[in-house]
Amino acid sequence: MSISFIKGHGTENDFVLVPDADGALAGRLDEQVVRRLTDRHAGIGADGVIRVTRTETMAEFGGLADDAEWFMDYRNADGSVAEMCGNGVRVMARYLWEERLVEGPVLALATRGGVRTVHGEPDGTLTVEMGHAKPAATRQLSFVAAGGRTWEATPVWVPNPHAVVFVDDLAEPGRLVEPPELRPPSLFPESANVEFVADRGRKHIALRVWERGVGETRSCGTGVCAAAWVAMRRDGAGVGARYVVDVPGGQLAVTERPDGELLLTGPAVLGLRGRVNL
């Protein structure tokens, strides 16, 4: 089987996009195929795979077709399914606009985490309505251990699960070659992304992120939202707060609307195109 692909990234969080408008590849991009595509030594190389398909082809989510024509079928690099990806949503929107598959400056995309609306900005960046952050339902303390150290963490879902940790120096966790330990594991039955966050100034933070199913990545859109949301509560930021977030791959901005909706703004870039034999 031969398929076409497009490589794209958002602040160097990179993806292999596979166009599949009619859903012919549903079920064929299994765990083994995804791992081959994302392998950085023997494949194309990426943090994840996005199958670009019409929402009506998704049996479980077809009811969203009236709200969003296109669906982001997202897989992590290890083949596992994720609810959505904030950087990936922007990259997929960029692809649909550049291919003239959609029109207008506003685009609705369906994901496993719900419908996300993307706005094209005058400066070329894209803003995604990421939904509301959801804190843990329990007051049970959560902890993250890495590099021989342990920190208290704040659990939050956006909608992917995250554990946000504040550190004095981003070097504290050391080389993240193994998944950070989450305690208690029962709080995150499907594991979680971990954000190590340091202050850079007023309403300005920086982070490193370990993504479940991927490893340490250059950026994570939902992780940036989670970190900014927790920082806003820590700082007592008011309605309409906007935080700048530095990631290894660039810079993003998170704004919280008065209704609690989180807006993620940043770049989306398309690059290599081709075909690959599976």
Is 87 a known ligand-binding residue?
Answer: yes
The Cα 33–Cα 159 span in angstroms is: 26
SS3 percent helix, strand, coil of the chain, rounded to 5, is 15, 45, 40
> Is the Cβ–Cβ distance between 115 and 108 less than 8 Å?
yes
Separation of CA 22 from chain center: 25
Strands 181-183 and 269-277: unpaired
Is 222 a known ligand-binding residue?
Answer: yes
85, 158, 164, 224: the catalytic one is 85
Is 211 a known ligand-binding residue?
Answer: yes
The Cα 45–Cα 37 span in angstroms is: 6
Is 277 a known ligand-binding residue?
Answer: no
The Cα 17–Cα 20 span in angstroms is: 9
Is 86 a known ligand-binding residue?
Answer: yes
Measured in degrees and rounded to the nearest 5, phi and psi for residue 234 equal -60, -40
Determine whether 225 is an active site residue. no
Is 13 a known ligand-binding residue?
Answer: yes
91, 220, 226, 231: the catalytic one is 220
**Residue 265's CB: how many other CB atoms inside 10 A?**
19
Q: Which residue's entry shows tokens 């946000």?
A: 164
Measured in degrees and rounded to the nearest 5, phi and psi for residue 139 equal -90, 5
- Residue numbers in the known binding site for substrate are 13, 76, 86-87, 160, 193, 211-212, 221-222
Return the active site residues: 85, 220
Binding site: residue ranges? Answer: 13, 76, 86-87, 160, 193, 211-212, 221-222
